[in-house]
Structure 1
Amino acid sequence: MESRTGAAAPATAPARAVFFVSDSTGITAETLGSALLANFPGIGFERYTVPFVDTPEAAHHVARDIASAAAQGADPILFTTVKAPAVAGILSGTPATRIDLLRGHLTDLEHALGVTASEQLGQYHGVANTERYFARMRAVEYAIEHDDGQSDRALDLADVIIVAPSRCGKTPTTMYLALHYGLLVANYPLTDDDFPTDGLPRAIAPHRARCFGLTTTPLRLSQVRHERRPNSRYASLAQCTSELRMAEGLYRRTGVPFLNSSTKSVEEMSAVIMQTMHLRA
């Protein structure tokens, strides 16, 4: 294909293969690696998460996959959280740019603490703190019970109550805060029945100081709702515009802080909520 000037149009670069390889669940490798990749929004990535690579046999299997990906184009990017030297050595021999997400940090900690790091696998994903683990599980149960305004029981215990029209990101943000930080989070949907009103809906009005609102753009909300209920009034641009306008007016009248979720990830929204509401995990 040629451009109007007669020069060949630049071809779209193929997605770069990225491997997140861990001797445990892969959560740390994927989270930290993705945070680094987010700094390069103009590049496409094809991502592969490979957990529980804790033996040489498993490492050789991943090495073959990496070599296969390398044969298709540019060398893959390899993020690892692998502690065993034998396993790490196999991965370091692959045709990939390897970024060890543990090595430098563990060395720094060893120097600071004056002890050598344990070689036991996957401890950073284990239940090292039983009390904290069960707190997160209780938080998840609380979030499920209080999802979408299903229950108003024990709302006085909530660390935060997320308020928003349907499909603005209440549930995923609620679950992220519960699972990752052990916070007790409820969420409440604003519907046509909640307007017009000067104050918050009756169920959450006594807890205004714990409320945090979400909003988005009418077009984005309409697109998301069309996936759920195509060509419905619920998904119409006019309905979405009206609900968002009323929700934002309610937030301002009642002094509820709020955030536009249209261009933010769940992680970003959670960070803003925790900072705004002065919450600590």
Structure 2
Amino acid sequence: MTDPHKSAVGAATQPAPMVFFLSDSTGITAETLGNTLLTQFPTQGLDRRTIPFITTEEQAHEVVAVIDRVAASGRRPLVFSTAVSPEVRAVLAQSAGHFFDLFGAHIGQLEQALGSSANGLPGQAHGVGDAARYQSRMAAVEYAIEHDDGQSLRALERAELILIAPSRCGKTPTTMYLALQHGILAANFPLVEEDFGSMSLPEPLLPFASKCFGLSSLPVRLSQIRQERRPGSKYASLSQCTYELRNAEDMYRVNNVPHVNSAFMSVEEISATVLQRMHLHH
């Protein structure tokens, strides 16, 4: 009879299964799609590895050898691939891993639906194939950097979005994500204690109230984040965080500024919410 305690100990010491994300470009799409599927298994510990720029059959064979060595150790890995080249895909599919072809599984259906053949060129999603869109995203990143945390008020009229919030509520990562991923010209402006004397928006933002979107948080969560930056300070105290968040939310309501509590939201979730509620689509 098997001892359940020994079984539990053995399971606990098993190394985490390996996941390979393979691509003939940057690997970003393979990571994104693969990790999205893996979120449905939140309790499963995984050892992830991305291998980008697999552009030749020779390179593909080298990657397969790596995967096969892992499989031979008794851990059959998961393999997510977005390789475009049929030749490269065919080689990768020969690996001993659980192979998920995220590209080939759908390209045939698309060719049939659109009545045309795929061009078979890698790097289209995260390359510079669409030069205008790429330049737009880079210009948006430069704008976000210049207008981070209220550093510059120049050309605020060009902003498509102005994120406002007390410090450490997620303004900077959200504006950077919106710029890099969506090409949104986004500025962000910190709300400080001096801004709470009245319920009016800070004076520099008054002409642009329709572009403002507010972020909030939970006092305990905000205090934890601030403690990592300035431990033991008034800035990080629970009372100060409570005061700032309460006043910020009152300001949003009085000025009809749409807002969201970002305490337990990812940057991607915050950004999607902002895009939807502000009707920003490029």
1:158-184 per-residue CA deviation (whole Å, 9 max, x = no partner) reads: 111111111111111101111111111
Q: Equivalents in 2 of 1:21, 1:151: separation in Å?
A: 41
Q: Which amino acid aligns with 1:50?
A: I
Give the 3 Å change call, closer, same or farther, for CA 262–45 of structure 1 in structure 2: farther
Q: Which amino acid aligns with 2:196?
A: F
Q: Equivalents in 2 of 1:238, 1:115: separation in Å?
A: 62
95-104 or 125-134, which deviates more: 125-134
Residue 37, structure 1, aligned to residue 38, structure 2: yes
Matches within 5 A, 1:205-224: 205-224=206-225
Matches within 5 A, 1:39-54: 39-54=40-55
1:213-262 per-residue CA deviation (whole Å, 9 max, x = no partner) reads: 11112222122222222222222222222221221121112111111112
Report what 1:3 is aligned to. Answer: none
Report what 2:188 is aligned to. Answer: 187
Give the 3 Å change call, closer, same or farther, for CA 105–7 of structure 1 in structure 2: closer
Report what 1:232 is aligned to. Answer: 233
Q: Which amino acid aligns with 2:125?
A: Y
Matches within 5 A, 1:114-263: 114-263=115-264
Q: In structure 2, the residue corresponding to 1:214 is in which secondary structure?
A: strand
Q: Equivalents in 1 of 2:162, 2:261: separation in Å?
A: 16
Q: Which amino acid aligns with 1:54?
A: T
Give the 3 Å change call, closer, same or farther, for CA 7–213 of structure 1 in structure 2: same
Give the 3 Å change call, closer, same or farther, for CA 73–224 of structure 1 in structure 2: farther
Per the TM alignment, residue 104 of structure 1 is displaced from its structure 2 partner at its CA by 2.6
What is the TM-score of this pair, normalised by structure 1? 0.91
Report what 2:113 is aligned to. Answer: 112
Question: Moved runs in structure 1, 4+ residues, more than 6 A?
Answer: none
Per the TM alignment, residue 73 of structure 1 is displaced from its structure 2 partner at its CA by 5.0
Q: In structure 1, the residue corresponding to 2:90 is in which secondary structure?
A: helix
Per the TM alignment, residue 88 of structure 1 is displaced from its structure 2 partner at its CA by 1.7
Q: How many percent of aligned residue pairs carry the same amino acid?
A: 54
Report what 1:92 is aligned to. Answer: 93
Q: In structure 2, the residue corresponding to 1:204 is in which secondary structure?
A: helix
Q: Equivalents in 2 of 1:195, 1:248: separation in Å?
A: 11
The count of corresponding residues between Structure 1 and Structure 2 is 276
264-273 or 87-96, which deviates more: 87-96
Question: Any unmatched runs of 5+ in structure 2?
Answer: none
Q: Equivalents in 1 of 2:65, 2:76: separation in Å?
A: 13
Question: Any unmatched runs of 5+ in structure 1?
Answer: 1-5
Report what 1:270 is aligned to. Answer: 271
Q: In structure 2, the residue corresponding to 1:259 is in which secondary structure?
A: strand
1:57-115 per-residue CA deviation (whole Å, 9 max, x = no partner) reads: 32233223323433455422111111223322232122221111111321122112222
CA contact (8 A) 2:199 2:250 kept: no
253-262 or 234-243, which deviates more: 234-243
